[in-house]
Amino acid sequence: MTALEPPARPRRAGWATRLVASRRFQTFCARVPGLRRIARRDGEALFDLVAGFVHSQVLWAVVELRLAHRLFEASQSAEALARGTGIPAARMAALCDAAVALGLFCKRHGTYSLARRGAAMLGVPGLEAMVSHHSVLYRDLSDPLGVLRGEETELARFWPYVFGAAAAEAPDVAARYSRLMTESQALVAEETLSRVDLSGASEVLDVGGGAGAFLAALGARHSGPHLHLFDLPAVAPAAARTFAEAGLSARARITPGSFRDDRLPEGADTVTLVRVLYDHADETVLALLRAVHTALPEGGRLIVSEPMTGGAAPHRAGDAYFAFYCMAMRTGRARSPEEIVALLRRAGFGRIRDAGTTRPFVTHVLDARK
């Protein structure tokens, strides 16, 4: 249910649901061809849910030991891969077999090589860094009820700005989270810029723009727009480096500040909020959207890009992953496009277009006009 939908009246489970849930019916299905196939598929899907956490840990171990990189260099035996890891060869073989089963590696005559999916993993910018930092989320999710009840989490400390600008003052902490965001930004920028055309913008203000990766991608794609980044003071030096390295310093400027405490700079005809809203509570988001509305000229444009939930039709990426990730961060939440549209309307935005996504696990884009 989204915040906009009235709740449906509670109904008792229908006869079909009660039938499928009965042990006798399941036993019957296992014997009847046709039904047997459906029952087996359901069984496999349920088992995948049961085993999902273990699959993630296998992936985490593969990333941590850089096995995909080593197999990219040359196919190898488990003995060779085990050397220097402190893991016995037989256990390394078990890990590699698990990676074969998950479609990451291939195995031939006891030698392992990269499967297509394992190779693709190396080609996805930021994926390995994302997997690595998930150890923090997994520790929190070892007590999912605690996360659901809103108890303290380790992940919230990983992203200290969720507690306000002052919490994110340490440059090393800001550098750590900015690096992770920068590495994963390439796909987000690619998806966002394929959904909306920003070539005609005169100045784009990226609020919460982090280390500048989104503006750098925008600047590389379109030569017209001036680039303006707004983020916390601890993050600004990394953005300056990004622009210098991309040869964009002459087109780019940076305003350090907090959107909780400071006015947003004016002058941009387009504002972007990329992976910012889901970190914050509704009141903070509404205040930020109102501030963006004030900063924009009449007809100005706001692009919101971040992973969203499915609303009336929950989906795996938004509802079973990002919603729980945000919950573990404690302050924000993943929202459906409809919920963000409602907040945009309350902030004064009129024409709003859902620019959609082809990859909901990367981002989803909304395009609004003042």
Contacting residue, 279, 319, 339, 367, with ligand SAM by CB under 6 A: 279
Asked if residue 363 binds ligand SAM (CB under 6 A), the reply is no
- # of chain residues touching ligand SAM (CB under 6 A): 21
Residue 223 and residue 247 in contact, taking contact as beta carbons nearer than 8 Å: no
Helices 213-221 and 171-195 meet at what angle, rounded to 10? 30
139-151 b/e with 16+ CB inside 10 Å = b? ebbeeeeebeeee
Asked if residue 158 binds ligand SAM (CB under 6 A), the reply is no
Q: Where are the beta strands (DSSP E) in 239-341?
A: 252-256, 270-274, 301-306
Contacting residue, 140, 183, 191, 231, with ligand SAM by CB under 6 A: 231
Residue 205 and residue 268 in contact, taking contact as beta carbons nearer than 8 Å: yes
Asked if residue 39 binds ligand SAM (CB under 6 A), the reply is no
Asked if residue 334 binds ligand SAM (CB under 6 A), the reply is no
Asked if residue 274 binds ligand SAM (CB under 6 A), the reply is yes
Reference 218, options 236, 192, 256, 241; nearest CA is 192
Contacting residue, 68, 95, 114, 181, with ligand SAM by CB under 6 A: 181
Asked if residue 161 binds ligand SAM (CB under 6 A), the reply is yes
Reference 160, options 180, 183, 177, 181; nearest CA is 177
Distance in Å, CB of 8 to ligand SAM, minimum: 34
- Report long-range pairs for 287-292 (Cβ below 8 Å, ≥24 apart): 287/260, 288/207, 288/259, 289/343, 289/344, 289/346, 289/347, 289/349, 290/347, 290/348, 291/259, 291/263, 291/264, 292/207, 292/264, 292/347
Output 117 or 241, the one with its CB closest to ligand SAM.
241
Contacting residue, 118, 126, 209, 360, with ligand SAM by CB under 6 A: 209
Per-residue contact flags (x/-) with ligand SAM for residues 235 to 264, judged by CB under 6 A: x----------------------xxx----
* CA-angle at 184, arms to 48 and 284, nearest 5°: 95
Contacting residue, 93, 165, 227, 327, with ligand SAM by CB under 6 A: 165
DSSP secondary structure code for residue 317 in this structure = I
Asked if residue 291 binds ligand SAM (CB under 6 A), the reply is no
Distance in Å, CB of 355 to ligand SAM, minimum: 16
Distance in Å, CB of 161 to ligand SAM, minimum: 4
Output 98 or 188, the one with its CB closest to ligand SAM.
188
Asked if residue 82 binds ligand SAM (CB under 6 A), the reply is no
Reference 195, options 20, 362, 10; nearest CA is 362
Which residues are at the interface with ligand SAM (CB under 6 A)? 161, 165, 168, 181, 185, 188, 208-210, 213-214, 231-232, 235, 258-260, 274-276, 279
